[in-house]
Amino acid sequence: MVPWLAVGLILAMWLAEVGLAELNRRHVVAHAGAVPEAFRNTIDDASYAKSVQYTLAKSRFSQVEDSYGTAVLLLVLFSGLLPWGLGLFRTRFGDSVWSMAGFLFATGVALSLTGQPLEWFAQFKLEERFGFNSSAQGTWWLDRLKGLLLAAALGYPLLALILGLVRWTGGLWWLWAWGALLVFQLLMTLLVPVLILPLFNTFTPLPEGSLRDRLLDLAQRTAFRARSIQVMDSSRRSRHSNAFFTGFGRFRKIVLFDTLIQQLTEPELEAVLAHEIGHFKKGHIPKRLFVSMITSFAGLGLVSVLAQQTWFYRAFGFEPGSIVPALLLFGLLADVATFWLSPLAHWLSRRHEYQADAYAADAMNEPGSLIAALRKLNENNLGNLTPHPVYSAFYHSHPALLERERALQRSAGR
């Protein structure tokens, strides 16, 4: 019964994905005739029509992605490829920690390669069609090579460490593995801004001038310490825009996409930065880290239980006796469970966005600059102005534009 149950759960998720996409498509089409009343004075008909086309094109593509991913997952789980691959690795390389970590890493790389054609299409066909792609073919492929090398340098040793902890610490291995993951995650928060991000993008200090003075004044006003304000050359790859801060302590830095600077006025940029500072001031980063810690704790605990179940191994063609199949199968099947929890995760994320918006309005002493920035970002990024609420619950970590505006106006007492 276990294989049939797994198939049923996988197909249930796929049907939900396809159904949600269709629900959202119909909702968008139903509102496609005219610009929503709340935005008729700020968004022209041509821009709105293009945003609808972009939303529908992404929806069609996501259904192809979901169907393709489901087919690949079913094939991998029930074709016998995984037990065969594990046996091949053991025959050729033995069953040492490094060999078994190599099997897990190689499997992950092979599965990621199956999705490369669709990723390429999304970048160079879909995004290109709507004017967002600015990446050269060489840059795109080089990014993937760098990602693979980073995964080999960081992920492969981490897998070996976890497998080693299984052998060295006995039944409580999952607690030790959880601790190792926490240390690794905290280490990455320090390494990413200093060593990893510069491998993909060029960061230059924001030039002296009125914008820099305005942003530094905001940081001083809100007691937000940052090592620097830097501009990232995101336009090399995409015309989408964003801003963020990264790192901890003296390594923290504020990053603005160069596309963002081109699209917004100085007060609007200040409001966007105030929003990002709001995330820091409201403690959203440690809260999200805490949720991640609890999730990994529960996940590793579940793996430790499944690793002791003979039926779990044999349902997918493996023989009991090694933790490797349990880790692999859990990784492949985790989305089947977490998909249904995504509304809860997105509810928390949207709650954080509302709080950061309110903080920004308070720091600016008015909500107008942030509202204007959000409208421009939505228009420039062809955001969906009319998502279906149920679809948003499953897929959107940020509230829809109209919801954010209403919340900002309420927080400002207007």
pLDDT at 414 over 60: no
CB atoms < 10 A from the CB of 340, how many?
14
Question: Which pLDDT tens digit goes with each residue over 303-351?
Answer: 999 999 999 999 999 998 899 999 999 999 999 989 999 999 999 999 9
| Catalytic position from the list 66, 276, 353, 379 | 276
pLDDT, mean of residues 154-166 = 95
The answer to whether the beta carbons of residues 82 and 76 sit under 8 Å apart is: yes
Q: Which of 268, 353, 357, 379 is the catalytic position?
A: 357
pLDDT in tens, 396-410: 999 999 999 999 988
Q: Report in angstroms the alpha-carbon separations of 239 from 24, 196, 384.
A: 25, 22, 17
Burial of 210 (0-12, 13-18, 19+ CB in 10 A): exposed
| Residue 276 designated active-site | yes
Is 357 a catalytic site residue? yes
Mean per-residue pLDDT over the chain, rounded: 91
Q: Quick one: average pLDDT of 381-408?
A: 93
pLDDT tens figures, 81-137: 999 999 999 999 999 999 999 999 999 999 999 999 999 999 999 999 998 988 899
Q: Nearest CA to 101 among 39, 12, 51, 167?
A: 167
CATH topology of domain 200-285+345-411: Zincin-like (3.30.2010)
Measure CA 364 to chain center: 29
| Position 356 pLDDT exceeds 90 | yes
Domain boundaries, the chain: 2-198, 200-285+345-411
